Amino acid sequence: MKKFKKAALAAALMGMALPMAAPSATAEDTNPFFEEWTTPHGLAPFSQIENADYMPAFEKAFAESRADIDAIANNPDAPTFENTIAALDKSGKLLNKVAGVFYNLTGSHTNPEMQEIQATVSGMFSRHNNETLFNKKLFDRVDALYQKRDSLDLTPEQARMLWRTHLDFTSAGANLDEDAKAELAKLNEEISGLTTKFGRNVLGATNAFEMIVENEADLAGLPDFVVAAAAEMAKERGHEGKWMFTATRSSFTPFMTFSTRRDLREKLHKGYMARGAKGTEFDNTEIVKDILQAREKRAKLLGYKNHAEYQMADRMMGHPDRAFELLNRIWEPALEKAKEERAALQEMVNSEGGDFELAAWDWWHYAEKVRKARYDLDEQTLKPYFVLDNVLKGAFHTANKLWGLTFKERTDIDTYHPDVRTFEVYEKDGSYLGLYLTDHHARASKRGGAWNNSFRSQKKVDGVATPIVVNVMSFPKGSGDVPPLLSADNVGTLFHEFGHAMHTLMSDVTYDRMNSMAWDFVEFPSQIFEGWAWEPEVLRVYAKHYKTGEVIPENMIERLEAASKFNQGFATVEYVSAALLDMHWHTRSIADDVDVAAFEKQVLDEIGLIDEIVVRYRTPYFNHAFGGSAYAAGYYTYLWSEVLSADAYATFAEEGIFNQDVAARLRHSILEPRGARDPMEMFEEFKGREYKLDAILEARGLTD
């Protein structure tokens, strides 16, 4: 998940900035961004917004934000929390409005023209950010307040906001001399441009790879829903009557799981893994090197040893050494488990008369066979029970049972794509909480993966704002009389992102800035929500066969529980290897002559990754690490958050999965405060003690 932050100041955390350009001569009366939106709940009037509206809107928004910042910096009155810190939070309204729409759509519904605008605007944000955080008058006001913070009689939220704002300035180089500031500004702009280009290349490489199947015999082993989705994809891309498989996870994984054509599995696997590789059309290897070198220069300029130290200065982990310690403690038992799983898969290969050693493109296929043999479960058996709309209703049911929330669909609200659905969310007492959007299906205009974002954050200062939240995913569509069906992995993804949405919708902070959290805390509230997806009581609500309406049988629920720890060695190793690769990239100096593929191999060899498992993200398409995301030197955060979520969910397991007291405590201690409190204090308040690793090791079956 990526959450937009206050554009005028917290752009520092996003690698953004502000320009000095004057507004374009484009007529303001035709630009929807310059009007007050009277749409339901203030959602953007998407059908009225054209690509040509963005640049004039950004130019005017940056100019207005610059004026807001200058007014605060040049205020002749002595600095106070209200005229400095709160004023910063209120600044840049138009910039927030424009960026909130634009950056949501560059991920979920982009086009070449928007990509060109994005490349330009990223530099504008970088310049604006530098001008804001290098403004000496402004920093002097913030610093003056920070130095006397103990005597200001601030609320706990205000005190944390002052600390956070001061850290924004100091970590961005506000204390540097003028020459160093100029160098830092140049590096920030360079990094912003490079990461934008990296992400565009990943999208381009993903869309460019197509494996077209012309002969029906080559579909051997694939269930009907996979074949139907492939036919629909081929039709959409101009190959009607054929079948297409792409480098999106929703297309890749089913084929790798079910296809009995080993040669085609190998072809798809190699195509997927080669995205962005050296010598390809969308070669990202030089960009990776340039990003890493620029990030290291920036970190050292700011007094840090490397980018990882710089990134983790305000995170729960605090230092790269602690992240390495966590990852290594999980890695060792996970690798041993993966080796046991490898032996079982090879045994299955041998039992079927396969005259070959298990390869990376075989793992999904034979894992499915072993799971079927052990638990009489496979994707073909399960998937008919996981209808997308029903799974979403299961998530709604869970929120209702925990907190009394209800979801009312609106079909009359303008959206940015026909796939988008809109729901009003209401509290138990009937009061309105916020707007929830879903965008579930894969398409060429959307980057792969799944995430939660906001078109508007909740806040109370300067007028109450209710949140507008969107969950974006890449699930395949249905075909004919077969509705969209989800894999078990996709079910977990939907509940995960819905957990992010609940966290965002339940925000109860005064200042917009406090919607920003320590990045290695962000995934905790979403991961805990995944636990309810597999509770028998919840499964009985949403797991209904798409043809018969039959509720998932009890013996199947029992087998699901028995199989819940199956293949967790693979899943953990695949993920942790990527997290370790990310940390190694960002803690080592990268020379001009670095060979990206060789470095990657060296790291993975050092940690002992077995050949049959490929790191979840190869470096050239590792968007988390190189695509401008705050997950750079922070991909570990998913695991850290799972440590917290597993430990926290154990409380529900012990006291009742819908225990109202525990649910209220989760909302009050974790969900509502967001960034307004220290996250470790929040966790310990909920749990009643410090965290322990036992729960995650048990949940993943990594204990002896």
* Catalytic residue ranges: 497
Provide DSSP, 448-485: SS-EEEEEE--B-TTS-B--EEEEEEEEPP-BTTB--B
Rounded to 5 degrees, φ, ψ at 475 are: -80, 145
Say if residues 694 and 653 touch (Cβ distance below 8 Å).
no
Tell me the C-alpha distance between 54 and 57, whole Å.
Answer: 5
Give CB contacts under 8 A, 24+ apart, made by 532-536: 532/398, 532/495, 532/657, 533/394, 533/395, 533/491, 533/492, 533/494, 533/495, 534/560, 534/561, 534/564, 535/657, 536/561
Tell me the C-alpha distance between 445 and 627, whole Å.
Answer: 17
Say if residues 400 and 567 touch (Cβ distance below 8 Å).
no
Query: Kindly report the CA angle at 121 between 501 and 471, in degrees rounded to 5?
Result: 15
Q: Please list, in sequence order, all residues whose beta carbon lies within 8 angstroms of the beta carbon of residue 328, skipping any fewer than 6 positions away.
A: none
Q: Crossing angle for the helix pair 112-133 and 93-108, nearest 10 degrees?
A: 140
Tell me the C-alpha distance between 408 and 410, whole Å.
Answer: 7
DSSP lists the bridge partners of residue 468 as 435, 456
CB atoms within 10 A of CB 45: 15
Q: What tokens were used for 370?
A: 């072993």
- DSSP reduced 3-state for 44: coil
Say if residues 304 and 296 touch (Cβ distance below 8 Å).
no
Q: Of the candidates 394, 406, 403, 459, which has an alpha carbon nearest to the alpha carbon of residue 436?
A: 406
Q: What tokens were used for 208?
A: 């460019």
Alpha-carbon distances, residue 606 vs 295, 322, 609 (angstroms):
24, 19, 8
Q: What tokens were used for 581?
A: 């690769």
Q: Crossing angle for the helix pair 488-505 and 524-533, nearest 10 degrees?
A: 130
Tell me the C-alpha distance between 451 and 474, whole Å.
Answer: 10
DSSP lists the bridge partners of residue 465 as 459
DSSP 513: G
Rounded to 5 degrees, φ, ψ at 646 are: -65, -40
Q: What tokens were used for 399?
A: 């929120």
Say if residues 72 and 42 touch (Cβ distance below 8 Å).
no
Give the HSE-up count for residue 369: Cα atoms under 13 Å, Cβ half-sphere. 20
Query: Kindly report the CA angle at 177 between 175 and 180, in degrees rounded to 5?
Result: 105
Q: Please list, in sequence order, all residues whose beta carbon lies within 8 angstroms of the beta carbon of residue 180, skipping any fewer than 6 positions away.
A: 173, 301
Tell me the C-alpha distance between 195 and 189, whole Å.
Answer: 10
CB atoms within 10 A of CB 682: 22
Q: What tokens were used for 391?
A: 């799974």
Rounded to 5 degrees, φ, ψ at 566 are: -70, 140
- DSSP reduced 3-state for 283: coil
DSSP 12: G
Tell me the C-alpha distance between 466 and 509, whole Å.
Answer: 11
- DSSP reduced 3-state for 154: coil
